Structure 1
Amino acid sequence: MSDATTQARSKTSAGTMSGKTIRPDEAAHFGRLAKDWWDPKGSSAMLHRLNPVRLKFLRDAIDLHWANDIEARKPLAGKSALDVGCGAGLLCEPLARLGADVTGVDAAPENVTAAAIHAESAGLDIRYMAGEIGTIDIGAFDLVTAMEVIEHVADKRAFIAALAARLAPGGLLALSTPNRTPQSRLLMVGAAETFGLIPRGTHHWDDFVTPEELGELLDEAGLDMGEPTGIAFSPSKGLHLSDDLSLNYLVTARAR
């Protein structure tokens, strides 16, 4: 990445843009992956491995937030869910199966097209839309998720504000993102892209967000962040929830 590009990313990440969060180059990058997003051995294979870990975190957070029966098959029945940066629907479909009325929004039109086709083939009624989350009039939702998204947006402050604006009273926000640490630089950018575990150009380490930074952004938006949970890797466990935040982490947030 050139110095000029790095400076531009740092500037927009600080919130100096006019509220636009989509980076056209990022949207184009992920749009090119749309055709094989659902292939567990394709370019999104790492997301397929990550999804069960995210879902375990989400299920626990949902049950705790709404005091659900942990054995319930549809803990989101009667509730609405919005997944921002939904890609081709890897998280939207499980949320629908948990009973939610689901909407997915993504920056890349190719992704929402692939998502809609896959949902229809699976017999799931999910609404998909492409565009800027801060400008789409879609109302408020009980659950809002944005998994592995904030590190790709142009204006992080505007993005968090847009997520907060979509949260219904008493709702729950859940996010995940890589942490900006030496470990994530070595493994998530260097090793993962070098060895083809994720497509080259997917991550830019300077855009990773620390838990402290994310907490400040959420606080500015009137949200209280819960205790972060790490996503770690070991040869014996694979990807798993952990106290180790050095690579990746998940958080929930609620309006004050």
Structure 2
Amino acid sequence: MQAVHGTVDPAEIAKFEAMASEWWDPNGKFKPLHMLNPCRLDYITRQVAEEFARDLNGSEPFAGLRILDIGCGGGLLSEPMARLGAEVVGVDAAERNIPVARAHAEQSDLQIDYRHTTAEAMAADGEQFDGILNMEVVEHVADPLDFLTVCGQLLKPGGIHICSTINRNPKSFAMAIVGAEYVMRWLPKGTHEWQKFITPDELFDLLSKAGMTPVDRKGFVFNPLSWQWSISERDLSVNYVTASLKPA
């Protein structure tokens, strides 16, 4: 088994290890991700389809594409990408997540290569991917620039990197920490650390320094009246997502 190292923060990994068994419970500790997932998938699939000129109305539009899902957890993104025909590798530094993901993929009759390892270890092995999903991970690593640089190394020239995280401002503190952890109790207290949040401009700068070219950013906005998430062109005040390309 590949040892974990590099930009992994052991304290952050321990938080998610403790919740591993609840990944596929839509009303459990990962309820926020289950609610957000359709919105995330809409953004991801549109960006990948546009970059590789794929028709999302086809049966397996991502056939022939190799996709890496970093911090895959229980496979909430890996599984739909596999259903779209991609060859998916899901990696997580939290060891307990991998058996959960493997078991659910088997129940779903999906072939997904799940591994307990890190982006650094995969880059050292010379792995290459057409696309990388880096969703809600960068705010949990020890060194965001080092981590994103490794992500860039894992991309093939012309590949796409999709990264979502949480903005750093008073509103994000109120909603992502006070609201989600203390009021709604969607997440265990201490899941997020506000000082680790990254502003969109900071993330674009980090992505550029990591050797990628940022090409898009959108907000994920929660409507408490409809109880649904949507993609916003302008509101990046709390949750947001970016797309970057590796120069060909």
Same fold, judged at TM 0.5 (above): yes
| 1:231 correspondence with 2:212 | no
Ranges in structure 2 where 5+ consecutive residues have no aligned partner: none
Shift of 1:138: 5.9
| 1:255 correspondence with 2:243 | no
SS in 1 for 2:118: coil
| 1:152 correspondence with 2:131 | no
SS in 2 for 1:163: helix
SS in 1 for 2:120: coil
The number of equivalent residue pairs is 238
Q: CA RMSD in A?
A: 1.3
Aligned to 2:175: 187
Distance 1:223 1:178 in 2: 20
Ranges in structure 1 where 5+ consecutive residues have no aligned partner: 1-18
The verdict on how the C-alpha distance between 1:203 and 1:132 changes in structure 2, with shifts beyond 3 A counting, is same
| 1:75 correspondence with 2:61 | yes
1:55-112 Cα distance to aligned partner (Å, 9 max, x none): 0001111121112224223221111100001111110001100100100111100001
Aligned to 2:196: 207
Shift of 1:237: 6.0
How does 1:64-103 map onto structure 2 within 5 Å?
64-103=50-89
The code of the aligned residue for 2:193 comes to: H
| 1:170 correspondence with 2:170 | no
The code of the aligned residue for 1:98 comes to: L
Distance 1:124 1:70 in 2: 19
Moved over 2 A (4+): none
Distance 2:49 2:213 in 1: 18
| 1:57 correspondence with 2:47 | no
Shift of 1:227: 2.4
Distance 1:64 1:132 in 2: 28
Contact 1:218 1:224 in 2 (8 A): yes
Distance 2:65 2:29 in 1: 32
The verdict on how the C-alpha distance between 1:226 and 1:208 changes in structure 2, with shifts beyond 3 A counting, is same
Shift of 1:168: 1.1
Aligned to 1:13: none
Distance 2:57 2:139 in 1: 34
Contact 2:156 2:246 in 1 (8 A): no
Distance 2:216 2:117 in 1: 31
Aligned to 2:118: 132
Structure-2-length-normalised TM-score = 0.93
Contact 2:54 2:62 in 1 (8 A): no
The code of the aligned residue for 2:110 comes to: L
Structure-1-length-normalised TM-score = 0.90
Distance 1:139 1:191 in 2: 39
1:93-151 Cα distance to aligned partner (Å, 9 max, x none): 01100100100111100001111111111111111111221123261011111100000
Distance 1:99 1:70 in 2: 11
SS in 2 for 1:190: helix
Percent identity reads 42
Aligned to 1:3: none
Distance 2:126 2:169 in 1: 36
The code of the aligned residue for 1:173 comes to: H
